[in-house]
Amino acid sequence: MKNQPKDDFKLSGDFYYKDFEGLKIYSHNRACIERAFTQIFNRHVYNFNSKTEEPFIIDAGANIGMAVLYWKKRYPKAKIIAFEPSREAYKSLVKNVEANNLKDVICIDKALSNTNGTQKFTTNEVISGSLILEKDLANNYDVETTTLSEYLKDEVDFLKIDIEGAEKLIYDDVKTNLHKLNHVFLEYHSFINENQYLSKFLDLFEKNNFRYFIEGEYNKTNHFVEPKVSLNQDMQLNVWAKKASIDDE
């Protein structure tokens, strides 16, 4: 039987929390924990083998910081930068870092984009938020934005990109700095009213000696006759890409 956090939620001030193997997982909304726990702690979708005990990890789209907790449990000396523009999710992210006494974690309440400045952000303040306003979620407000390149000065052992469609805005930064990246996890989103661009990322990985693996999240028997559309998206994919040369080091 797979591990699970205790079923009972407790309240601590404005936060729900669950105990799990020495961790306290906090959230402003219990659904944030329920939806992500299986993926992160049971399926280990963000696991990787590091050649150092102090891997440098960038979490683009950290939500409440559950992946940060996972990595810190796996690599206690990891150095992590976590981006999360959602107001409520960011509060939970900071709470998880502070309550679990996590060291070497920098939390940044900005969205990654192709410019520094301010952009409109749409979010349900639970598990989804994006600079792509076509998602059309319940809450809309301005957030500060920054570019990924500013944080890619050194080798990055793991880059997680889960920014709900805004991955297209940081493609150029990924392309320019790909030689510094060892592992990339990309959640790709395809919107019904825009051209698809998955091939740009796959071509980039292929030309730079990365091996990639793809898993779809919209399961249908036949997409020709049974299209699935959610939040104006017709496809969502997980892509794991690993620099082939790191296996030889």
pTM for the structure as a whole: 0.93
Please report the DSSP string for 151-178 in residue order: G-SS-BSEEEE--TTGGGGGHHHHHHHG
pLDDT of residue 2: 55
C-beta of residue 134 within 8 angstroms of C-beta of residue 189: no
Q: Which residue's entry shows tokens 């601590």?
A: 12
How many CA atoms lie less than 13 Å away from 65 in the CB half-sphere?
32
Type of residue found at 128 = S
Strand order in the sheet with 183-191: 105-108, 79-83, 56-60, 158-161, 183-191, 233-243, 210-216
The β-bridge relationship of strands 183-191 and 129-130 is unpaired
| pLDDT number for residue 156 | 98
The two structure tokens encoding residue 216: 């779809």
d(CA 12, CA 97): 15
pLDDT at 8: 76
Per the CB < 8 A criterion, the answer to whether 26 and 33 are in contact is no
Residue 1 has a pLDDT of 39
Q: What pLDDT score does 186 carry?
A: 98
Torsion angles phi and psi, residue 144, rounded to 5:
-80, 145
Query: CA nearest 148: which of 162, 169, 131?
Result: 169
Q: Which residues contact 126 (CB under 8 A, 6 or more apart)?
A: 29, 31, 32, 35
Instruction: Specify the DSSP element, H or E, that contains 214.
Output: strand 210-216
In this prediction, residue 12 carries a pLDDT of: 86
Amino acid at 197: Y
Segments in the chain below pLDDT 70 = 1-7, 218-220, 247-249
Is 26:12 a contact under the CB 8 Å cutoff? yes
What pLDDT is stored for residue 216 in this prediction? 85
d(CA 13, CA 36): 22
Token pair 């990654």 is found at 112
* 55 token code pair: 């891997």
- Nearest residue to 242 (alpha-carbon basis) of 167, 156, 172: 156
